[in-house]
Chain A
């Protein structure tokens, strides 16, 4: 197909001009700035509007908050990445609850059926959030695989209040994604949804039916 490549590029080059490039005025993005507490409020408002649920927690007790939620909701199997600091803390606490922790530490091919049929929830950390529209920034990888936040019917995500960015634009820049993005990066604003039938919103179409954010209030001076 290199012929196609050469032919296409030749046509495009023949039509190219040296017209000056229009300038990019990003002021409209730059002026979207809020205080840290306002960022938390905006993110919650945006995400709650699309059915995301929030659990309040502190740095020292979030694993217990998550464990209590799983017990309350009857979550029997929770899939997680055992290699992260958060994963280790979770394992220590969940050992004493009725929820079985299932580590995602082998290639998906070894347990694909189980992943699709026998896991009740998946737990991931996040790199932060986006205040403007409400959303979580998630970068799956070796420690927290890509399907962990997608296949289980409930997605539990850990978010630190101090890691919420103003906009997607500022997040892309400050996380360095514009230089070297991870192999997969996501912004997630809520549980999977569709409006394809008569524009009626229905949640849980292909991905998680519920998105639960464990919000860790770690801003200096904020009451827990």
Chain B
């Protein structure tokens, strides 16, 4: 099934009505009411972010740096394409065999002494983890970076049950001190500059002197967190790739906090989205090469940590127990849709964010979603339903930079267009919830009028005659036009329509 969407990567697939094509659909001219009452408004938060000069400078600098570093890692376009093709094939194969591979993963992990648990929802996963911790009397948990645990809002859940859940990735630690969420999936604290972090550390870390020196700030965090690793009852991590054949959990990191969290405490709990599985350990090599280069422009990270079992009888250290929690949270529903399934190929590198003209300007928090940027724009509505987040799917110029850099060639703009259509049309066959809820009366009327005019040649010619003769007098404040003219000049029709000119001047010979 993903093979089908692969073949259609060049453009929207045949299931779309032509009106959904971005070329025909003048999406900027529509007036869009803010998101439904209960959903966050991307339009409002983006506008606020655009007014924050410091935030914009922080992101601009960071994203420019990341783009430069990534392109330096792919000097040969042929090799890059070959590697992307291989990475895409590995992920596509994994998804085609997903149920079989998940069962194999479970069997291999069990054989290796890793206990496997399944959760349909975030609530189930949270309860499962709480149960594991409580049964062992654990009250202090250290965490390596995990986006799935963000999806579960695990920290808040555990804190509400009296368990300290401490982020140990430096960026995650920084934002946890301020009770913030990550603004980037790879660099969670990228929205802050060192002055802001210096201020925060001096206020919130005991006995810390104010310093803006990055090495000194890092040393401060090191001191605090090493003590926490030493004392922790349990460690939690995400999983970058899970290998079905060997029962191996692969963790990719630079800081060593992932190794600390998974190897110092007696209990290691790993959480993964069910799509993270690959068949063989050697499949990890091309994905790892794509991940590190695409994410941060590094040929390799400091650590690639392959965990295939807890402490053996004759070992001196390592966790005594490892538990793997496999989370669904809407993924099996997405899996059921041939086009949307491509979303599950994602290896969470963040390159689509780094290259997105929208993300670069508004930053990650404006999306008010766990996964920001282009991948978040397609993933969030698929998980939460298109109803609550239909202004999110319109926050894109469909420029295609995201799919151009995506290491596993996810056709993000095509899926965005598909979701835009579903936000205004109900399609019983689709896996997306909340269809048709983005329909507005004014937009609906405008399209009806448009269709009525186009179906009647005489009416069309009359409208064209008026539009060209009275072109200077079209008021920019018209209900639907206003959304466009708020920050742009009013579009001016040509003095004569093309049809009129051809009738009068004849077809030019070219």
Residues of A participating in the B interface, judged by any CB pair closer than 8 Å: 1-2, 4-5, 7-9, 11-17, 19-29, 46, 50, 104-108, 112-113, 116, 130, 132-135, 140-142, 145-147, 150-151, 167-169, 172-173, 177-200, 202, 204-208
Q: Tell me if A173 and B169 are in contact (CB < 8 A).
A: no
Q: Which of B57-116 contact A (CB under 8 A)?
A: 58, 61-62, 65-66, 79, 82-83, 85-86, 88-90, 92-93, 96-99, 102-103, 112
CB distance from B329 to the nearest CB of A (A): 10
CB distance from A30 to the nearest CB of B (A): 11
Q: Tell me if B328 and A150 are in contact (CB < 8 A).
A: no
28 contacts between A and B (CB under 8 A): A1-B128, A15-B335, A16-B99, A17-B1, A22-B89, A25-B89, A28-B86, A29-B286, A46-B299, A112-B230, A116-B226, A133-B299, A134-B300, A177-B306, A178-B282, A182-B308, A183-B312, A184-B309, A189-B300, A196-B174, A196-B187, A197-B218, A198-B58, A199-B190, A202-B215, A204-B222, A207-B260, A207-B303
A21-B96, A25-B89 as given contacts; A183 in contact with B124, CB under 8 Å: no
Q: Tell me if B86 and A21 are in contact (CB < 8 A).
A: no
Nearest chain A residue, comparing its CB with the CB of B189 = A196
Q: Tell me if A205 and B315 are in contact (CB < 8 A).
A: no
Residues of B participating in the A interface, judged by any CB pair closer than 8 Å: 1-4, 6, 58, 61-62, 65-66, 79, 82-83, 85-86, 88-90, 92-93, 96-99, 102-103, 112, 117-120, 124, 128, 168-171, 174, 187-190, 192-194, 197, 214-215, 217-219, 221-222, 225-226, 229-230, 245-246, 248, 254-257, 259-260, 263-264, 274, 280-286, 288-289, 296, 299-312, 314-318, 326, 328, 332-333, 335-336
Residues of A within 8 Å of B188, CB to CB, are 196
Tally of A-B residue pairs with Cβ under 8 A?
A: 271
Query: 8 tightest CB-CB pairs across the interface, nearest first?
Result: A207-B256, A169-B285, A196-B171, A183-B309, A28-B82, A15-B336, A108-B317, A133-B300
A196-B174, A206-B168 as given contacts; A181 in contact with B214, CB under 8 Å: no
Among the listed A146, A188, A205, which residue makes an inter-chain contact with B222, where contact means beta carbons less than 8 Å apart?
A: A205
Additional A-B contact list (17), CB under 8 Å, known A15-B335, A142-B314, A172-B282: A4-B119, A16-B99, A21-B96, A22-B92, A133-B289, A146-B318, A168-B288, A181-B306, A186-B305, A188-B302, A189-B301, A192-B303, A194-B218, A197-B189, A197-B218, A205-B218, A206-B225
Among the listed B2, B88, B93, B187, which residue makes an inter-chain contact with A195, where contact means beta carbons less than 8 Å apart?
A: B187
A21 to B93, CA, bound (A): 6
Nearest chain A residue, comparing its CB with the CB of B300 = A133
A183-B112, A184-B263, A191-B302 as given contacts; A24 in contact with B90, CB under 8 Å: yes
Q: Tell me if B302 and A9 are in contact (CB < 8 A).
A: no
A146 to B259, CA, bound (A): 9
Residues of A within 8 Å of B281, CB to CB, are 172, 177-178, 181
Nearest chain B residue, comparing its CB with the CB of A187 = B304
Q: Tell me if A5 and B246 are in contact (CB < 8 A).
A: no
A197-B217, A206-B222 as given contacts; A183 in contact with B1, CB under 8 Å: no
Q: Tell me if A8 and B304 are in contact (CB < 8 A).
A: no
Nearest chain B residue, comparing its CB with the CB of A14 = B336
A138 to B254, CA, bound (A): 16
Nearest chain A residue, comparing its CB with the CB of B83 = A28
Q: Tell me if B194 and A200 are in contact (CB < 8 A).
A: yes
CB distance from B335 to the nearest CB of A (A): 5
A146-B317, A198-B193 as given contacts; A172 in contact with B303, CB under 8 Å: no
Q: Tell me if A104 and B316 are in contact (CB < 8 A).
A: yes
Q: Tell me if A187 and B300 are in contact (CB < 8 A).
A: yes
The B interface is mostly helix, strand or loop, or mixed, namely helix
Q: Tell me if A197 and B316 are in contact (CB < 8 A).
A: no
Nearest chain A residue, comparing its CB with the CB of B293 = A133
Residues of A within 8 Å of B308, CB to CB, are 181-185
Among the listed A104, A132, A194, which residue makes an inter-chain contact with B255, where contact means beta carbons less than 8 Å apart?
A: A194
The A interface is mostly helix, strand or loop, or mixed, namely loop
A178 to B192, CA, bound (A): 41
Among the listed A141, A190, A204, which residue makes an inter-chain contact with B218, where contact means beta carbons less than 8 Å apart?
A: A204
Among the listed B2, B85, B289, B306, which residue makes an inter-chain contact with A185, where contact means beta carbons less than 8 Å apart?
A: B306
Q: Which of B65, B120, B282, B318: most chain A Cβ within 10 A?
A: B282
Among the listed A11, A168, A188, which residue makes an inter-chain contact with B332, where contact means beta carbons less than 8 Å apart?
A: A11
Q: Tell me if B285 and A168 are in contact (CB < 8 A).
A: yes
Q: Tell me if A192 and B4 are in contact (CB < 8 A).
A: no
Nearest chain A residue, comparing its CB with the CB of B93 = A21
A187 to B298, CA, bound (A): 14
Q: Tell me if B214 and A197 are in contact (CB < 8 A).
A: yes
Q: Tell me if A205 and B328 are in contact (CB < 8 A).
A: no
Q: Tell me if A198 and B194 are in contact (CB < 8 A).
A: yes
